[in-house]
Amino acid sequence: IPYDYIVVGTGAGGLVVADRLSEAGKKVLVLERGGPSLGSAGGTYQPAWLQGTSLTKFDVPGLFETMFQDSNPFWWCKDVNVFAGCILGGGTAINGALYWYPPDSDFSVANGWPKSWANHHPYTAKLKARLPATDHPSTDGKRYLMQVADVTAALLNKQNYANITINDVPDWKDHVYGYSAFSFIDGKRAGPIATYYQTAIKRPNLTYKQYTTVLNVVRDGGKILGVRTNDTSLGPDGVIPLTPKGRVVLAAGAYSTPRILFRSGIGPTDMINIVKNDPAAGPALPPESQWINLPVGDNVSDNPSINLVFTHPSVDAYDNWAQVWTAPRPSDAAQYIKDQSGIFAHASPRLNFWRAMGGRDGKTRWLQGTARPGAASVTTSYPYNVSNIMTITTYLSTGITSRGRIGIDAALTARPLVEPWFTDPVDKEVLIQGIKDLLVNVKDVPGLTLITPDNTTTIDDYVNSYPTGGLNSNHWVGSCSIGAKGSAVVDEWTKVYGTDNLFIIDASIIPTIPMGNPHGTIMAMAEQGVAKVLALSGGP
């Protein structure tokens, strides 16, 4: 105490930032509200069949689907109204770990990035060097439970898709498919926890405190003096100070970073007034004359997604993943314990595909597909064999024009205020067309049957009546967008407008939805972001 840099949150953004700042010799404090996840980082939560090993729920890829099935889901943020991980690693400790090297478009001016971000390749290269992707995560190099990939490939082969190794050509996203790629190493979840965190935590100039929640930044006008936490053992009123030139980097995620800003008097007046009315948070606000009005929470996007459920006689639905915690297939469990090979070395997805589509507004939008054994829900009038079910989730990706708004309610729970899916009807039209195109050849793949929707429901009706929450893809970006003064929250250095020394490096600064599931793009973004923070003069 005090610290040069205080990093708030250990997700996809925060761990990259913590590692690079400490590598540069800065005195760094990392604050995380959750506890341990991977066994290598002190986690211990595991099913009975893994007792005697150091493998946890978070390590074992084949336990991914149990994140949604557990009766004690302590890893979810309880004060965020959508799925968000509040544990070491944030979303990267609990996600499906689909991992894509970003295409150039993910950092293009056309997609809202400042010009100074355009040369992104060196930062992706840094990420690849630390965390290479794999599309064959089992330690024996073989792929397992691949029937769903074969069936989906048979469908796409009728539609002139090319079969590629997706991360070998990140810019090729039109009519391509390939095996799902993951941020796994040695048959286990890795992501930033097994890589960046491991080097960061060993440095004597870095201090890590878990189970510590940052409530707000403490500031005098635009100058941030420190952070206030829920832990009064860390300082008077829980406040931890910065050195005179010190800086705070918020990396609490697309919902929790905005909440910290609102509680610090930064954001739209309606949100700060909610804080003002809260008996605990209100008194910590700076005087109204120091409130900083920024569009925090606006410009939010997330992929709208629609599930299509099929059956095929070749498919092994793997009991819809319902047995993997309590009663895994014995030979698969034994194989995984022995050398981290086999079915348990994969998360549920098996194949991914992309295509570009034109809309009647003249804009191009990309459609992504993810195919996996099992299904989250089946609604059908058909008789079907439950052991043969598989899902293709269709996501509308880069190019979507719909935007929403997130914020807080009176209980200070972070939540969508305006849902971001299909606010532009052209997005919906394009996704509907993409689904129809995909389904044209179902009849040409022997044995393949679409069961949800069934033949009593048109695709238009299916999409039009889809429960809005079901459109959520958990890929929230844009709540603190980077961009020009007046319309954005952070500048090209990732510094919050109106402040001297407050930065944000997490999903919230990404102005438009990336091409793929975002954690690879977020980590690569954090590599460039932290380099910019270190390069900006005036710091410690």
Active site residues: 475
* Residues from 160 through 219 that contact ligand 6FA (CB under 6 A): 213-214
Strands 214-220 and 223-229: antiparallel
Only segment of 10-18, 292-300, 312-320, 438-446 that touches ligand 6FA (CB under 6 A): 10-18
Q: Are 174 and 353 in contact (CB under 8 A)?
A: no
Q: Does 61 bind ligand 6FA (CB under 6 A)?
A: no
Only segment of 83-91, 122-130, 200-208, 404-412 that touches ligand 6FA (CB under 6 A): 83-91
Q: Does 519 bind ligand 6FA (CB under 6 A)?
A: yes
Only segment of 89-97, 112-120, 137-145, 450-458 that touches ligand 6FA (CB under 6 A): 89-97
Q: How far is the CB of 73 from ligand ABL (least distance, A)?
A: 12
Only segment of 6-14, 53-61, 194-202, 440-448 that touches ligand 6FA (CB under 6 A): 6-14
Only segment of 196-204, 493-501, 512-520, 530-538 that touches ligand 6FA (CB under 6 A): 512-520
Q: Binding pattern to ligand 6FA, positions 257-276, x when CB under 6 A? A: ---x----------------
Partner interacting with residue 65 (select from ligand ABL, ligand 6FA, none; CB below 5-8 Å by kind): ligand ABL
Element (H, E) at 416: strand 414-418
Q: How far apart are CA 469 and CA 520, in angstroms?
A: 25
Strands 405-408 and 351-358: unpaired
Q: How far apart are CA 205 and CA 4, in angstroms?
A: 10
Q: Are 223 and 500 in contact (CB under 8 A)?
A: yes
Q: Does 352 bind ligand 6FA (CB under 6 A)?
A: no
Q: How far apart are CA 74 and CA 15, in angstroms?
A: 21
Q: How far is the CB of 477 from ligand 6FA (least distance, A)?
A: 8
Partner interacting with residue 211 (select from ligand 6FA, ligand ABL, none; CB below 5-8 Å by kind): none
Q: How far apart are CA 333 and CA 345, in angstroms?
A: 10
Partner interacting with residue 473 (select from ligand 6FA, ligand ABL, none; CB below 5-8 Å by kind): ligand ABL
Q: Which of 39, 96, 102, 529 binds ligand 6FA (CB under 6 A)?
A: 96
The residues binding ligand ABL (CB under 6 A) are 65, 68, 96, 98, 348-349, 370, 372, 376, 473-475, 517
Q: How far apart are CA 141 and CA 133, in angstroms?
A: 13
Element (H, E) at 365: strand 364-373
Q: How far is the CB of 286 from ligand ABL (least distance, A)?
A: 36
Partner interacting with residue 33 (select from ligand ABL, ligand 6FA, none; CB below 5-8 Å by kind): ligand 6FA
Partner interacting with residue 86 (select from ligand ABL, ligand 6FA, none; CB below 5-8 Å by kind): ligand 6FA
Q: Does 445 bind ligand 6FA (CB under 6 A)?
A: no
- Taking phi first (over 0 means left), then psi (-120 to 50 degrees means alpha), and beta for anything else, what does residue 299 get? left
Q: Closest CB to ligand 6FA among 194 and 507?
A: 507
Q: Which of 90, 268, 342, 529 binds ligand 6FA (CB under 6 A)?
A: 90
Q: Which of 7, 10, 22, 344 binds ligand 6FA (CB under 6 A)?
A: 10
Only segment of 156-164, 241-249, 254-262, 376-384 that touches ligand 6FA (CB under 6 A): 254-262
Q: Does 36 bind ligand 6FA (CB under 6 A)?
A: no
In order, the DSSP letters of 268-292 are: -HHHHHHHHTSTTTGGGSPPGGG-B
Q: Which of 36, 268, 297, 518 binds ligand 6FA (CB under 6 A)?
A: 518
Q: How far is the CB of 49 from ligand 6FA (least distance, A)?
A: 23
- Which of 143, 155, 181 has its CA nearest to residue 312? 155
Only segment of 93-101, 128-136, 381-389, 459-467 that touches ligand 6FA (CB under 6 A): 93-101
Q: Give the contacts of 297 (CB within 8 A, at least 6 positions apart).
A: 258, 267, 268, 271, 405, 406, 407, 417, 479
Q: Are 232 and 487 in contact (CB under 8 A)?
A: no
- Which of 497, 514, 480 has its CA nearest to residue 298? 480
Q: How far apart are CA 371 and CA 536, in angstroms?
A: 43
Question: Can you tell me whether residue 374 is helix, strand or coil?
Answer: coil
Q: Enumerate the H helices of 54-97 as residue ranges.
A: 91-94
Q: Closest CB to ligand 6FA among 453 and 529?
A: 529
Question: Can you tell me whether residue 489 is helix, strand or coil?
Answer: coil
Question: Can you tell me whether residue 450 is helix, strand or coil?
Answer: strand
Q: Which of 18, 471, 496, 507 binds ligand 6FA (CB under 6 A)?
A: 507
Which backbone phi and psi does 384 adopt, to 5 degrees?
-155, 160
Q: How far apart are CA 480 and CA 508, in angstroms?
A: 5
Q: Which of 40, 301, 393, 517 binds ligand 6FA (CB under 6 A)?
A: 517
Q: Which of 49, 83, 318, 462 binds ligand 6FA (CB under 6 A)?
A: 83
Q: Closest CB to ligand ABL among 226 and 253?
A: 253
Element (H, E) at 306: strand 305-311
Q: Which of 4, 5, 7, 12 binds ligand 6FA (CB under 6 A)?
A: 12
* Residues from 98 through 157 that contact ligand 6FA (CB under 6 A): 98
Q: Closest CB to ligand ABL among 370 and 499?
A: 370
In order, the DSSP letters of 200-241 are: HHT-TTEEEE-S--EEEEEEETTEEEEEEES-GGGSGGGEEE
Which residue number is nearest to ligand ABL in terms of Cβ?
A: 96
- Which of 62, 98, 65 has its CA nearest to residue 519? 98
- Residues in touch with ligand 6FA (CB under 6 A): 8-14, 31-34, 83-86, 90-92, 94-98, 213-214, 251-254, 256, 260, 474-475, 506-507, 517-520, 522
